[in-house]
Structure 1
Amino acid sequence: MAMSRISPLHDILAPSGIAIIGASSDPTKRGYKALAGLLEGGFGGDIYPINPKASEILGVPAYASLESLPRAPELALICTPASSVANLIRQCGEKGVKGAVILASGFGETGLEGKVLEQELLNAARESGVRLIGPNTSGLFNLHAKLNLLGLENVVPGNIGIVSQSGNMLLALALEAQHHGCIGFSSYVGPGNQTDLGFGDYLRYLGEDDDTYVAALYVEGFQDGRGFLEVAKEITRRKPVVVYKSGATRQGCAAASSHTGALAGSYAMTTDLLRQAGVSVVQYSDEILPVAEGLGALQQAPGKRVAILADGGGQATIAADRIVEAGLELASLSDTTRARLAEILFPQASLANPVDVAGSSDANPALLARCHEILIGDEGVDSVLLVGMFGGYASRFSATLAANEMAGAESMVETAWSTRKPLVVHSLYAPVRPPALERLREAGLVVYGSIELAIKVLAALAARGEYLARESSPTEPAIEASRSRLIEQALEEKRDLLEPEAKALLKDQGIAVPDETWVTSADQLGEVAAQAGETPMAMKVVSRDILHKSDAGGVRLDLRGAAALEDAYRQIMASCENYAPNAHIDGVLVSPMAAKGVEVIIGVVRDPAFGPVLMFGLGGIFVELLEDVAFRAIPLSRQDAQGMLDQLKASKVLDGLRGAAAVDKAALVELLLKVSQLVQTCPDIRELDLNPVIAYPQGYYQKGYAIVDARIILTTFDKETGDEFA
């Protein structure tokens, strides 16, 4: 069933006519290669080479200008220098051209002058209504429309759509597909500088394109990360999206004031947010095409439980190791499954998982297809991985086995397409492409020469299945933004919230905060001491100018009695005055010492590309050292919050180690959701740090946690000048 279409790119990427501005008779020029590619590819629409010095190019009549064309083409390919492009875009608008591909570099990527030129280009595009691909793009193709503006040879139509900021990466994928033999592409776009259209626009097009089954993106940077996430969350419900993200951008972190801000903008944050939106993130460039192929063909797995079917013990062991490392599970086979396998395999065969046929298939490779059928029928199995030498039995043992092996392939195809449980095949003979493996590939199954790549595909299939199951759950209700009195007052005074104010704001959101006393004079400490009795107390400075209290000597712990409190007060005032002589001191905060528990951190930062992002991780002073943290874009769903806890490498600490009781994880999930709601309610919050939060066992303390320190940063202005930051 065709999808509804919103994207403006459908006419642009499947035009009935195209103008090549700067067409050339020189084979080294892009204006020549694009024209040659259209002619050789059999493009059926109108082709208008534009060159005022030529009457024809490659046998096609040439025109002096856009104005002289007999009709308006939907697409223009501009092959002229950067300085000429803005004026040409205005001419495109006057003619009625819908979109333009701009190959020229020399724009914002080159410096200040280029940025001015790029802004002029964008202004021209908006005034004329012409959509821009590029500038500084490698070009595009739509193979199903026989539109090839790269002049790239040996690319065949298929179902993988590509968007890549690197032309060389596209070339690498094209060569890899050519070597593979059964992989083809639908469309390719090089986004270039993303002056107008960006990754979100291209993903929407691929999501709506009937010829694209899976989208694969090579990304160096997002111009509108938040917009991309919104599009990705919509598209991934319908078809898989694979992203390889290069680099570890730390936009805006140099001026970050909090632990969360210091960690935001990282590669880890970007990949967490992409996965939250249902994107399959690959870690290495050589995984892009295999994972895209596997997801495009098989779509998803119902779960993580994998059965390994092998004709050799060594590779079975390797596969088992890699499966566990990938976060998948070795399926537990039922007694019925084992009994059925025992009926057809040699006595020495291993009937546990991995299933090693131990020579049973040497004279009858089709036996592996029968084993596959048995394993797929086990309710405890979500997918099957076949490892070994299937496809190569005729070569390895006897040519007389070719027919038997082909019959096994046919049987695997029939079984595979009768179930939702995917079959992924690894074969030593994959590089030589024997007939039985080619039959599997032609039927839409996937075959890999690497066990590791095969398991990457299985992991992606399982993750997509889990994501789609989560997305079927009810969504959290929308929250209206508002501004509290505390925030209004702080903004009027051009400052951030003081810690007592921050905790009051948290309390208003239904978040549990400890009982504390805000003391502005040493004279008040006697009453505080009398109420505390022998309870050990903590004291810390309250100052709009001192963010890191410990560094300033602004914290004292384990205090008992009035004398100790008064002495600590004097010490804090002296230390802070020495640390920041001009700091405005608003007193101290006195509270009972928090009981020991598991320290975690919860933070929020408004990332320049992705907007408000929430972080959860191991807390205390080690958060930036260990960086065992998880990120999610706000708003969070309950599944997002639970996933943050489960994602941590140190998640076992939350479950209790060495006899310690497990912390109240449900309480932490509720806390994460309430923080998410707070940030939605109060868009003036720029950064938020709750560090540490002490997590306790269920029923131990208030709502299962104690917020020891809270920091909320509002300001987007320079504290000394009062000027707004850009």
Structure 2
Amino acid sequence: MSSTETASPQRSPLHDFLAPDSIAIVGASADPTKRGYKAMVGLVKDGYQGTIYPVNPKAKMILGVKAYPSLADLPASPDLALICTPAAMAPALLTECGKKGIKGAIILASGFRETGLEGAKLEQQLLDAARQGGVRVIGPNTSGMFNLHKKLNLLDLANVKAGDIGFISQSGNMLLSLVLEAEHNGHVGFSTYVGPGNQTDIGFNDYLRYLSEDPNTRVATFYVEGFRDGRRFLNVAREVTATKPVVVYKSGSTEQGRKAASSHTGALAGSYAMTVDVLRQVGVSVVQHSDEILPVAEGLGLLQQARGKRVAVISDGGGQATIASDRLTEAGLELSVLSDATRHRLGEILLPQASLVNPVDVAGSTDVRPSLLAECMEILNEDDNVDSIFLVGMFGGYHIRFAEHLLGDEMRGAESMIELAHKTDKPLVIYSLYAPISPPALRRLHEAGLPVYNSIEHAVRVLAALGERGIYLAASAEHTHLAAVTPDVEVQATFAKALKEGRDLFEYEAKSLLRTHGVAMPAEMVVREADKLTEVAAHFGSQPLVMKVVSKDILHKSDAGGVKLNLRGETALREAYGSIMESCRDYSPDAVIEGMLVTPMARKGTEVIIGVMRDPIFGPVLMFGLGGIFVEILEDVAFRAIPLSRHDACSMVEQIKARKILKGVRGEAAVDKEALVDLLLKISCIVEAYPQLAELDLNPVIAYDDGYAVVDARIIVNRANAS
């Protein structure tokens, strides 16, 4: 099997217990303050159709259901066990679950890895018991789960509606927030919820696989504090997003947030910017504000995707049209340039004072006939320059604002919008200032599957997610990853030598590795004694040269006076050689100096940086950005998980905020983007081939209009995997 192929995944085993036909409640109770009571109430009250087995050695009946003293006493093997006991009892109970043939168990208790060393030991005991018995574990330290289509409500949540949003959240309070928001919305419902807790056994990637296969889930949504195996999540997400939207809100975007996440779940939160980039790389829709989770999930669930980012705005108020335009632009969306034919047709039905450019302001044309907005949407829908349509204003409230008799015309307008939505593949997104009171026309739109928002910002975020998803899917043919290069014997020997000597690769060794695998590199010579400088001078002629010290003990060469620039001729080279030796001896008297690296000076161009790190969560990740102050101060960089596709490499170059500099400013020529893309792809293929490579830093790379020059290269050896 090639590196670009993946085996067909088997059906997720989580179906066996996340949609159970029978459940044991271990620690079931008649005490309203206990979780075992709430779980029982949720099952009984909601009419769970499966078999319930309360387990409590002190009770004969609980809430009218026969109880059993232990798991061993159950007359059959339930699909799922909810364990409501203290943490210390969990390992033994999982052993009992295994003996009984129970397929899955939920451990509610906290007091495991998140509390320190002793808790971590207890958690390992729990995992050992589960694996020995073949039991899959949700949690521990979890809020529980529900499957509303099975009427399985283990949290006893009131007024939560069955729907098509699957939600996996490391925060129980975030679930409660979304449930209350959905209740206020009145139209959004959930399929399955799980609190993964510490992810001791089942991780986010497992839940994503399950939700992708669940026919009741239309969009998979996650609140994540920290991934434990981000690489596997990316691999699953790449498959899932091809057919089903995935929404992620990642907390820990600040240093304080990352510390809070670690103490709450014992998870490694990682770099927020890197996490966002690698998630988007595989088609995940990332929301950056918690109040966007439900609107974006609803919008993607209903509308799926847009062809692109060109949005036509139609509004009955100039102020809100301007606000919408601002927010769309900030979100990276474009205002569609309407065709002359579209503007002419709009002019035929709107008043003379209407603005016919995008955003279209009807300027009072709809005050007496609000259904005219639907006609405008139909006209915009036929414009090939339009990818999605955004209605902004007070639709639904005309009969309230102006005259009651307008209600009928508003309802006719709503029906026309619904008819249009059914026949077009362009999303129709509606913001109405009357949405909070849900008047009849807006209720009708909601019932028919058209999302209506009471926030311009939320509506714009939905439009952005739809456009991003559409563009990602359209580029799916470009997502093929290039195969890793074949490891070179001499390069392998270089790594082995560096490892034996307890050092990283010297600069010339790093450059040699890159050159071996097709990266364009300038000529260079390593000089180990001053007498060789005559040969060097003859070789390079009159070119301006740079000389750098080669020493494993001097990492920051400039700080040690170990770099000399603009050297021409043998005399200058000899003077530089002596000066560097003297400066480096003063800087670090015990440093072992291998010699000097001499190479031509790079001509003026645009500095960029390319770096690779092996992230403990997501594996090898490549970084690209402008060099100099841009990377050090502005942190204007893009990340992608390795391996890269051509689409990934191109999108990295286009993502950075300073991309205009790459396109040429103030008379400077645009850089050779294709050369940079080629370099990024080559680096990706090289890193895949050499597990001995822990980190790589090319800084700077000088980008030209006809290629690039790698000025400096550093490779850190992976001592944990240096075979």
What is the TM-score when the length of structure 2 is the normalising length? 0.95
| Equivalent in 385, 398, 404 of residue 399 of structure 1 | 404
| Shift in Å, 1:497 | 1.3
| Equivalent in 710, 713, 722 of residue 707 of structure 1 | 710
Aligned to 1:320: 325
Conserved? CA contact 1:142–1:148, under 8 Å:
yes
Judged with a 3 Å threshold, the aligned counterparts in structure 2 of structure 1 residues 331 and 402 are, in CA distance, closer, same or farther, namely: same
Conserved? CA contact 2:71–2:96, under 8 Å:
yes
Query: In the TM superposition, what whole-angstrom CA distance separates every residue of 1:397-434 from its partner, at most 9, and x where no partner exists?
Result: 11111111011001001101211100000000000000
Q: List gaps (5 residues or longer) in structure 1.
A: 254-263, 699-703, 718-723
Amino acid of the residue matched to residue 82 of structure 1?
Answer: A
| Shift in Å, 1:585 | 1.7
Aligned to 1:536: 544
Aligned to 1:644: 652
| Shift in Å, 1:250 | 8.2
Amino acid of the residue matched to residue 686 of structure 2?
Answer: L
Pairs within 5 Å for 1:18-37? 18-37=23-42
Q: Is 1:625 equivalent to 2:625 in the alignment?
A: no
Aligned to 1:261: none
| Equivalent in 171, 180, 192 of residue 187 of structure 1 | 192
Aligned to 1:219: 224
| Equivalent in 297, 310, 316 of residue 311 of structure 1 | 316
Conserved? CA contact 2:396–2:440, under 8 Å:
yes
What is the DSSP-based 3-state SS (H/G/I as helix, E as strand, rest coil) of the residue aligned with 2:463? helix
Q: Is 1:296 equivalent to 2:301 in the alignment?
A: yes
Query: In the TM superposition, what whole-angstrom CA distance separates every residue of 1:355-411 from its partner, at most 9, and x where no partner exists?
Result: 111111111011101110010011111100000000001111111111110110010
What is the DSSP-based 3-state SS (H/G/I as helix, E as strand, rest coil) of the residue aligned with 1:417? helix
Pairs within 5 Å for 1:172-183? 172-183=177-188
| Shift in Å, 1:144 | 0.4
| Shift in Å, 1:4 | 8.2
| Equivalent in 618, 631, 635 of residue 643 of structure 2 | 635
Amino acid of the residue matched to residue 714 of structure 2?
Answer: R
Conserved? CA contact 1:140–1:189, under 8 Å:
yes
| Shift in Å, 1:592 | 1.3
Identity %: 67
Instruction: Measure the CA separation in 1 of the matches of 2:642 and 2:498.
Output: 24
Aligned to 2:592: 584
| Shift in Å, 1:323 | 1.1
What is the DSSP-based 3-state SS (H/G/I as helix, E as strand, rest coil) of the residue aligned with 1:468? helix
| Equivalent in 611, 619, 624 of residue 616 of structure 1 | 624
| Equivalent in 570, 575, 589 of residue 583 of structure 2 | 575
What is the DSSP-based 3-state SS (H/G/I as helix, E as strand, rest coil) of the residue aligned with 2:23? strand
For these two proteins, the number of residue pairs brought into alignment is 702
Instruction: Measure the CA separation in 2 of the matches of 1:574 and 1:50.
Output: 80
Q: Is 1:50 equivalent to 2:52 in the alignment?
A: no
Q: Is 1:154 equivalent to 2:137 in the alignment?
A: no
Conserved? CA contact 1:250–1:266, under 8 Å:
no
Instruction: Measure the CA separation in 2 of the matches of 1:73 and 1:480.
Output: 51
Judged with a 3 Å threshold, the aligned counterparts in structure 2 of structure 1 residues 480 and 149 are, in CA distance, closer, same or farther, namely: farther
Conserved? CA contact 1:601–1:617, under 8 Å:
yes
Q: Is 1:522 equivalent to 2:550 in the alignment?
A: no
336-345 vs 626-635, greater mean Cα deviation: 336-345
Instruction: Measure the CA separation in 2 of the matches of 1:585 and 1:45.
Output: 75
What is the DSSP-based 3-state SS (H/G/I as helix, E as strand, rest coil) of the residue aligned with 1:438? helix
| Shift in Å, 1:625 | 1.8
Q: Is 1:493 equivalent to 2:501 in the alignment?
A: yes
Aligned to 1:721: none
Instruction: Measure the CA separation in 2 of the matches of 1:133 and 1:710.
Output: 45
Instruction: Measure the CA separation in 1 of the matches of 2:66 and 2:397.
Output: 54
| Equivalent in 77, 86, 92 of residue 72 of structure 1 | 77
Conserved? CA contact 2:166–2:219, under 8 Å:
yes
Instruction: Measure the CA separation in 1 of the matches of 2:235 and 2:208.
Output: 11
Pairs within 5 Å for 1:107-506? 107-248=112-253, 265-473=270-478, 475-479=480-484, 482=487, 484-506=492-514
Pairs within 5 Å for 1:679-694? 679-694=687-702
| Shift in Å, 1:474 | 6.2
Aligned to 2:107: 102
Amino acid of the residue matched to residue 313 of structure 1?
Answer: G
Q: Is 1:676 equivalent to 2:684 in the alignment?
A: yes
| Shift in Å, 1:480 | 6.3
What is the DSSP-based 3-state SS (H/G/I as helix, E as strand, rest coil) of the residue aligned with 2:364? coil
Conserved? CA contact 1:5–1:208, under 8 Å:
no
Aligned to 2:3: none
Instruction: Measure the CA separation in 1 of the matches of 2:173 and 2:589.
Output: 56
Q: Is 1:507 equivalent to 2:515 in the alignment?
A: yes
Conserved? CA contact 2:170–2:225, under 8 Å:
yes
Conserved? CA contact 2:485–2:517, under 8 Å:
no
Conserved? CA contact 1:248–1:265, under 8 Å:
no
Instruction: Measure the CA separation in 2 of the matches of 1:458 and 1:474.
Output: 23
What is the DSSP-based 3-state SS (H/G/I as helix, E as strand, rest coil) of the residue aligned with 1:672? helix
Conserved? CA contact 1:43–1:146, under 8 Å:
yes
| Shift in Å, 1:544 | 2.1
Aligned to 2:5: none
Q: Is 1:697 equivalent to 2:705 in the alignment?
A: yes
Judged with a 3 Å threshold, the aligned counterparts in structure 2 of structure 1 residues 318 and 375 are, in CA distance, closer, same or farther, namely: same
| Shift in Å, 1:59 | 1.0
Amino acid of the residue matched to residue 685 of structure 1?
Answer: L
Instruction: Measure the CA separation in 1 of the matches of 2:556 and 2:324.
Output: 48
| Shift in Å, 1:464 | 0.1
Aligned to 1:556: 564
Amino acid of the residue matched to residue 714 of structure 1?
Answer: V
Instruction: Measure the CA separation in 2 of the matches of 1:59 and 1:474.
Output: 57
Conserved? CA contact 1:616–1:644, under 8 Å:
yes
Instruction: Measure the CA separation in 2 of the matches of 1:265 and 1:29.
Output: 36
| Shift in Å, 1:492 | 3.5
| Equivalent in 61, 64, 67 of residue 59 of structure 1 | 64
Query: In the TM superposition, what whole-angstrom CA distance separates every residue of 1:674-704 from its partner, at most 9, and x where no partner exists?
Result: 0000011112111001100000012xxxxx0
Amino acid of the residue matched to residue 591 of structure 2?
Answer: A
What is the DSSP-based 3-state SS (H/G/I as helix, E as strand, rest coil) of the residue aligned with 2:77? coil
Conserved? CA contact 2:226–2:270, under 8 Å:
no
Conserved? CA contact 1:605–1:612, under 8 Å:
yes
Instruction: Measure the CA separation in 2 of the matches of 1:516 and 1:617.
Output: 26
Amino acid of the residue matched to residue 707 of structure 1?
Answer: V
What is the DSSP-based 3-state SS (H/G/I as helix, E as strand, rest coil) of the residue aligned with 1:578? helix
What is the DSSP-based 3-state SS (H/G/I as helix, E as strand, rest coil) of the residue aligned with 1:76? strand
Instruction: Measure the CA separation in 2 of the matches of 1:134 and 1:481.
Output: 42
Instruction: Measure the CA separation in 2 of the matches of 1:185 and 1:715.
Output: 45
| RMSD of Structure 2 on Structure 1 (CA) | 1.8
Query: In the TM superposition, what whole-angstrom CA distance separates every residue of 1:257-302 from its partner, at most 9, and x where no partner exists?
Result: xxxxxxx942111100000010001110001000111000000000
| Shift in Å, 1:617 | 0.4
Instruction: Measure the CA separation in 1 of the matches of 2:644 and 2:557.
Output: 30
What is the DSSP-based 3-state SS (H/G/I as helix, E as strand, rest coil) of the residue aligned with 1:472? helix
Aligned to 1:595: 603
What is the DSSP-based 3-state SS (H/G/I as helix, E as strand, rest coil) of the residue aligned with 1:399? coil
Amino acid of the residue matched to residue 592 of structure 1?
Answer: P
Conserved? CA contact 2:485–2:686, under 8 Å:
no
| Shift in Å, 1:339 | 1.3
What is the TM-score when the length of structure 1 is the normalising length? 0.94
Instruction: Measure the CA separation in 2 of the matches of 1:615 and 1:21.
Output: 49
77-86 vs 264-273, greater mean Cα deviation: 264-273
Judged with a 3 Å threshold, the aligned counterparts in structure 2 of structure 1 residues 481 and 152 are, in CA distance, closer, same or farther, namely: farther
Judged with a 3 Å threshold, the aligned counterparts in structure 2 of structure 1 residues 535 and 478 are, in CA distance, closer, same or farther, namely: closer
